[in-house]
Amino acid sequence: MTITDDTVQASAAVLRQRLGALQPRVAVVLGSGWAPFAQSLTGAVEVPYGDLPAFPVLAAGAGVAGHAGVLRAGHLGGTPVLVLAGRKHTYESGDAAGMKGAIRTLAALGVQLLVQTNAAGSINPDMPPGALMLITDHLNVAQRSPLVGETGNARFVDMSAAYCPQLAAQARAAAAASGLPLHEGVYAWVLGPQFETPAEIRMLRLLGAQAVGMSTVPETILARHAGLRVLALSLITNMAAGLSAEVLSHGHTLATAQAASQRAVATLAAVVQKLEL
């Protein structure tokens, strides 16, 4: 699918018409295990990705289990919030720009903050399955960019503060006030879809990563390119390869994520309501 200014503006126009007076400035991308958060919104409006020309197609059976392909917008407490239930992963096609149209549509709609969530493997023995991690920085291990093919100086995006320090501080404070434990660290993005080898995990640990996963980094790059501030949270679903005896699978990831989703969603809700534009 070719993403153009016209398809982005067309998508934004559809959303303005469907959302009416609702004008969210905060958007949340839901990864595996975070889906129940969408049901926390009140007075919600749902728009399938298929109705938005710049959004990816997440066809049933062709995408990834746990990613619905629906945009849902409503209120969380007094905060207008827009939720993207599902993302296009680079490992599905090899294209790191699968969420380009969606992120640019958010910016065109007036969204200012992007909160990302994902499921990840822990590289830190002190961060077990079920834990939550605030992402403070990332390693683009795959060395793929969604900005390949862009032109002009704007493509040379400064990533020195990819995850906004002010938003991170607000997230820490919100989690602490709610009594919700929150780890933090560096997230390593690998291409997948296969899980990592024990040797690769040892390498990532030496590079300073605390968690590893197959998403989030391309959207962060796109968001920074579009001028959005970014906050990101990982739900730890397993110990990375070589750190436990468990056999890794996506089914196991989803099962662990589901078991831990209640606390994850509570933390996310507490954080989103405290974010300042």
The range of the structural domain enclosing residue 222 comes to 5-274
Q: pLDDT (tens digit, 0 to 9) for every residue of the chain, 277 residues total?
A: 678 999 999 999 999 999 999 999 999 999 988 999 999 999 999 999 999 999 998 755 444 444 478 999 999 999 999 999 999 999 999 999 999 999 999 999 999 999 999 999 999 999 999 999 999 999 999 999 999 999 999 999 999 999 999 999 999 999 999 998 999 999 999 999 999 999 999 999 999 999 999 999 999 999 999 999 999 999 999 888 777 666 666 776 677 777 778 889 999 999 999 998 8
Q: Which two tokens stand for residue 208?
A: 């300073």
Question: What CATH number has the domain bearing residue 20?
Answer: 3.40.50.1580
Q: Which two tokens stand for residue 146?
A: 């969604």
Plot region of 110 (φ>0 → left; ψ -120 to 50 → alpha; else → beta): left
Domain total for the chain? 1
Half-sphere exposure of 81 (CA within 13 A, CB side): 28
Contacts of 111 (CB under 8 A, 6+ apart): 24, 25, 26, 27, 82, 228
User: What's the pLDDT at 252?
Assistant: 67
| Residue-by-residue DSSP string for 71-98 | EEEEEETTEEEEEEE----GGGTS-TTT
* d(C-alpha 271, C-alpha 253), whole Å: 24
DSSP class of residue 190 equals: -
Q: Which two tokens stand for residue 184?
A: 């933090």
* d(C-alpha 95, C-alpha 196), whole Å: 20
| Residue-by-residue DSSP string for 84-144 | EE----GGGTS-TTTTHHHHHHHHHHT--EEEEEEEEEE--TTS-TT-EEEEEEEEETT--
Note whether 133 and 197 are within 8 A (CB): no
Q: What is the pTM of this model?
A: 0.93
User: What's the pLDDT at 249?
Assistant: 66
Residue 30 pairs in a beta bridge with 85
Angle between helices 100-109 and 217-225 (to 10 degrees): 40
Residues carrying an active site annotation: 32, 67, 89, 91-92, 119, 214-215, 238, 250
User: What's the pLDDT at 63?
Assistant: 45
